[in-house]
Amino acid sequence: MVSCCLSGGLRLLRGVNRMLSRRYSLDVSGDLLRSQAFINGRWVSAPDSFAVLDPATGAELCSVSDCSVPQAQEAVTAAYTAFQTWKTHTAKERSVLLRKWFDLVNHHKEDLAKIITAECGKPMKESIGEIAYSASFLEWFSEEARRVYGDIVSPAAKDRKILLIKQPVGVASVITPWNFPSAMITRKVGAALAAGCTVVVKPAEDTPLSALALAELAAQAGIPPGVFNVVPCSREKAPAVGEVLCTDPLVAKISFTGSTATGKALLKHAAGTVKKVSMELGGHAPFIVFDSADVDKAVAGAMASKFRNSGQTCVCSNRFLVQSGIHDVFLEKLGKAMDAELRVGHGFEPTTTQGPLINTRAAEKVERQVTDAVSQGAVLVKGGKRLEGSFMQPTLLSNVSADMLCMQEETFGPLIPILKFNTEKEALAIANASQVGLAGYFYSQDLSQIWRVAEQLEVGMVGVNEGLISTAEAPFGGVKQSGLGREGSKYGVDEYLELKYVCMGGLTL
Ligand code: NAP
């Protein structure tokens, strides 16, 4: 059903958090604020609805259709029907439509960013950045759509020709998390549509509004009905909807971004009908500062890599390993940078750099890691306290050891734990002692060390003297239990293509 507060603009009401006593309101074009599912080019209501909350205040933003099994099935059928036509479009036709979608996202970037801040909590500056990042995948894949080539291979027999052609796999189910509610969708859907696949998107319960705004703009761009479908649902219904999306025989491909635990459950679903899968799962990134590092650059990299989205990114630095010779000066400068640069508040406040965590459970997890570390001898240098609601103080811990909780599990919050090490070998052993391997960062000015460490880190992406590395041009993905496959880059389209071998025989040449 349509929401309570979407007529002509979204009104964010003051919530339970007294720290945020003023009223936050925003005007967003009514067309972009959607609360129904988007199936086969139509806005469709479900019998039930769920509330979308402002994580900063707990106030209800609006109420969104709570899709269940019938809507998921309807969307899969629509996508399958649309696939029969979409795959016959020329690459250029698909490219032009993706480009129009990109242009529209850019045109509405301000409003789309407001929606992200409202439902996800990140500061407006970061939301604007996410929209630019999100749009970049539509642009990139509008270009890549025309560069899907096959091969002609030299045969061993004289009367044969060997051709390899690439074809779209079919309907792709796309399940995405709340921490990048727009970009995690376009990174998958841009590639899928470029390849000639159609999609059904299930966004996170916390952030369906960004997905629905993308659907509105896809329709305005002229993307045909059934090619891009969105079925929002509550957390309660996610397992049932997910099961349809991951087991329906009409679905050929699953692309998931989220936790490793959910990824494993979806992989089991996929096994039943042997679907192609891409999994972008959890990370536990090491951030290593060697004695030879430029300390100021290392501090700037640490700040950028750790505190974006209040520490809620899969590529966030999680484990800080600092060599003994540079340790004290790095700790001191990092503490000063935290004091100077970080401001906790509502994402709509212009001075805010640290919004809320997505919910109180997330803040409790960070608090638990801090308590565990301090109880085992870590020194609390800065922060450490939960504020009201789901806000958490940016926190700095020193004297951390590898067996503490914060070094064993993904934090997903604004906590920097610092472990002092002596040798490169020791740092690599600690960094690689993890079941996951998404991103890793290190700072060094020693060229030989840079090559040694870049090659030996067991991760899918390495930042050398750089704390922010994600870009549409480079492949995004992890090793070990961080997932399967790559997104973005020239390799991203391959995840949605099958390679077909055609042998032409009996030729008289
Ligand atoms: P999550 O709990 O796994 O949720 C991700 C998505 O899966 C949401 O849409 C969620 O729906 C849905 N879901 C949950 N259980 C499901 C089920 N049984 N069947 C079908 N769908 C189901 O992850 P999260 O906590 O939202 O996100 C944080 C995690 O994502 C972190 O571990 C982070 O590292 C990882 N992440 C990875 C990347 C990457 O590119 N590698 C990027 C961003 C985040 P509900 O919202 O309704 O629960």
2 has a pLDDT exceeding 50 = no
Within 10 A of 375 (CB to CB), how many other CB atoms are there?
10
* Least confident residue range of 16-20, 225-229, 280-284, 326-330: 16-20
CB 396 near ligand 1, within 6 Å: no
16 has a pLDDT exceeding 90 = no
Q: Which of 314, 410, 424, 487 is catalytic?
A: 314
Q: Residue 8's pLDDT band (boundaries 50, 70, 90)?
A: very low
Residue % of the chain over a pLDDT of 90: 94
Local structure of 485: helix, strand or coil: coil
* Mean pLDDT, all residues of the chain: 94
Which residues are CB-neighbours of 11 under 8 A, at least 6 positions away? 5, 25, 26
Active site (annotated) includes residue 280: yes
Mean pLDDT in residue range 252-265: 97
- Residue nearest to ligand 1 atom 47, measured at CA: 235
pLDDT by residue (tens digit) across 133-191?
999 999 999 999 999 999 999 999 999 999 999 999 999 999 999 999 999 999 999 99
Residue 278: the pLDDT is 98
Within 10 A of 149 (CB to CB), how many other CB atoms are there?
8
* Least confident residue range of 60-64, 226-230, 420-424, 453-457: 60-64
Q: In sequence order, which ranges of 35-161 are alpha helices (DSSP H)? A: 69-86, 91-107, 109-120, 124-144
Mean pLDDT in residue range 479-498: 98
- Residue nearest to ligand 1 atom 9, measured at CA: 204
Mean pLDDT in residue range 272-284: 97
Active site (annotated) includes residue 143: no
CB 55 near ligand 1, within 6 Å: no
How much is the pTM? 0.95
Length in residues, the chain: 509
Quick one: which of 279, 278, 280, 281 has its CA closest to 496?
278
Mean pLDDT in residue range 442-470: 98
Q: Which residues pair with 506 in a beta bridge?
A: none
Helix (H) or strand (E) holding 361: helix 360-375
Give me 207's structure tokens: 């952030």
Establish how many alpha carbons lie within 13 A of residue 75's alpha carbon, considering only the half-sphere containing its beta carbon. 32
Residue 29: the pLDDT is 77
More confident residue, 80 or 14: 80
**End-to-end CA distance of the chain, in Å?**
66
Quick one: which of 240, 220, 169 has its CA closest to 198?
169
pLDDT by residue (tens digit) across 431-445?
999 999 999 999 999
Mean pLDDT in residue range 386-410: 97
261 CA closest ligand 1 atom index: 3
The CA 241 to ligand 1 mean position distance, Å, reads 14
240 has a pLDDT exceeding 50 = yes
Measured between alpha carbons, how far is 270 from 256 in angstroms, rounded to an integer?
11
